[in-house]
Amino acid sequence: MSNDHEPLATGSAAGKIILFGEHAVVYGRPAIAAPVQQLRAYAEIHPGRKCQVVAVDLNRVIDVAEAPEDDPIALMVRLACHELGRSLPPWRIVIRSDIPMAAGLGSGAAIAAATARALLAGFRVDLPLARLSEMVYEVEKLHHGSPSGIDNTVVVYEKPVWFVRGWPPEPFATPRPFHLLIADTGIPSPTRFAVADVRAAWQKDPVRYEALFDRIGRIAAEARRHIEHGRSADLGPLMDENQQLLAKLGVSSPELERLCAAARAAGALGAKLSGAGRGGNMIALVEPEKRAQVKQALLAAGAKRVVETKVA
């Protein structure tokens, strides 16, 4: 990550996928999300002359003291220092990420959490996970406008969680792990715009949209019961139904529909978009022996890359 000698401290954080409930979660319905350990953001701290962030993937160097208030990476550094009662340290914070940006995988939250963890390690201080999640949420507001809070929760706790806005997150048991493929459309999809469009549509026709949100919420509740009882195969039809409802919300796309159809045709148990939609990623539930053929079908249908993950 850096050519320098050993860093003073490091931090990392996983990406995330939403299994069920995106968009409806903004309106008080439950959602289920899980970390993606195969995709992570990393931060390293090295000695420097002033407090700087080197964003490797963005090819940017940020002077934290001079950065504008709406710079999310600088904000995370300031929040962490303020929380700990420290002034900005003379550190060079080098960050990079495996997580595609604007793809519904929690890239912004993971970068913020990794940065905060590196700073906490550098200062040799621990924070409760709930407080760290609150700090990452403040950064999420810059990325997403009106975020649900699910990204920061999953990224910080790094466990599958049941999430209802305004309530403490509930990590819950997955007695039988299940396998997912995450396929990237290659189309960036900033969450802020999709969320704003759904809100505008909801304001015009609240009765229709509240009914759709209710149905999505019921699917999430049923999915949790199946997961907790080890009935992962039963999640497939729920994923397909959730995808149909997301299409009715106006957040699917031809590319997402094509990937979902290809996955099902190749033997996936179910498939849906994950995240904001209109691009970004979709997920497919697969039995272990079908992973290779479904992955090949997704790539043939136009996926830019496919990541295998296990929810456990």
Catalytic residues: 151
Question: Tokens representing 49?
Answer: 């002359």
Instruction: Check: CB of residue 122 under 8 Å from CB of residue 8.
Output: yes
Per residue, the 3-state secondary structure of the chain, as one string, reads CCCCCCCCEEEEEEEEEEEECCCHHHHCCCEEEEEEEEEEEEEEEEECCCCEEEECCCCEEEECCCCCCCCHHHHHHHHHHHHHCCCCCCEEEEEEECCCCCCCCCHHHHHHHHHHHHHHHHHCCCCCHHHHHHHHHHHHHHHHCCCCCHHHHHHHHCCCEEECCCCCCEECCCCCCEEEEEEECCCCCCHHHHHHHHHHHHHHCHHHHHHHHHHHHHHHHHHHHHHHCCCHHHHHHHHHHHHHHHHHHCCCCHHHHHHHHHHHHCCCCEEEEECCCCCCEEEEEECHHHHHHHHHHHHHCCCCEEEEEEEC
Pairing of strands 91-97, 52-55: parallel
Give phi and psi for 92, each to the nearest 5.
Answer: -105, 115
Question: Tokens representing 46?
Answer: 């090295």
| Residues ≥6 apart with Cβ < 8 Å to 225 | none
Length of the chain: 312
